[in-house]
Structure formats: C-alpha cells, structure tokens
Amino acid sequence: MTSSVHPSSSSSTSFTVRELCLAAVMAAVVFLATFVPRIPIPLGYAHLGDAAIFLMVLFLGRRETLIAACFGSALSDLLGGFPLWIVPTLIIKYFMADIAWRVIRPDQKRASLARLVVGFLLASAWMAAAYTLFGAMLYDSLAAGLASAPGLIAEGVLNSIIAIVAAGILQKTPLGRR
C-alpha cells in the first residue's frame, strides 16, 4: 500500500503550479528590491532585498521563500555585474532564509516580535559573516573580506528593521490575516 502526500504539503517533493508561480513572482520581487536601490560598499553593494526575503519568511511557504531568495538575489548579481558572486549568493541566501524560517516559524504559525528580531538578526549575522568569508576567499585577502563587514552588518540591521515595520503594517491587511 502506498501513501499519498498532498501536493502542497511541505513533505512533497514536487511543486504545484501555484508554488512555482509564487516562487517565480517573489524571485522577481527579491531581484527588484536587490537590484534597484544599490548602495556601493567594498566588494559589492547594499540593498533592500533581504527585507523582501524576511517578509516572505513570514507570509509564504518555506520552499517558495528559499527558491525566491536564492534565485532573485543571484539574478541581481548576474545582471548587476557581479557574476563571481552568483554561487556564493545562492548558498548564502538559501541558509539566510532557512535560518530565519527555522527560528521564526518552527511550528509554521505566527511568531512573536522577539522571534522576529532574533530570527532576522541571526540570519543577517550569517549573511554578513558568510559574505565576509567568501570575499576573503574570492579576493585572496582577509583584509578585503573584512572591509565589506561594516556595510554588510549595517545592511542586515536595516533590512531587519524594515521587515519588522513592514510586517506590522502588512498584518493589518488581508494578507496578514490569512
């Protein structure tokens, strides 16, 4: 006897059309939030894409969030002139979104403000540390990697604050009441 898994459940290995479309649209949102407001920092640029990723953690399924975070961010690197960073970005954004998801929504329910703060800041710390490490490896210079750390830390804190404020606003809309 075989057991069937509902196509939209998180234990299913295949994606529904809805999940794929949602992930694609949200990847475009992450791309735009990452690509458009680019602020130069050593070895790259700061942006608001992580705030979009953090909001997806709150309102979307885990798989859609992880896919959109990875591909939206990597597409920005590709089209923004940083192709060397595509693979590191895929790895970093996957784990960044996953850390936030596991801290904030371990039971897939709404999270407290404390969980939001801890989840976003842990995910941001991972992002800053990982980009610093990859920068040191890619440019064969610890000093070069460390030069980007202050900008990355500021980016993580700013994106966390923006996501928390936006989440408070969105929770008052039909999207937040679902």
39-70 per-position pLDDT tens digit? 888 878 889 999 999 999 999 999 999 999 99
**To 10 degrees, what angle do helices 62-79 and 49-59 make?**
170
* pLDDT on residue 12: 67
* pLDDT on residue 3: 30
Cα 55 to Cα 63, 74, 130: the distances in Å are 14, 18, 21
**CA 164/CA 137 separation, integer angstroms:** 33
* pLDDT on residue 7: 41
- Residue pair 16/8 in contact by the 8 Å Cβ criterion: yes
**CA 57/CA 132 separation, integer angstroms:** 24
Please, what are the domains in the chain? 17-177 (1.10.1760.20)
Low-confidence ranges of the chain (pLDDT < 50): 1-9
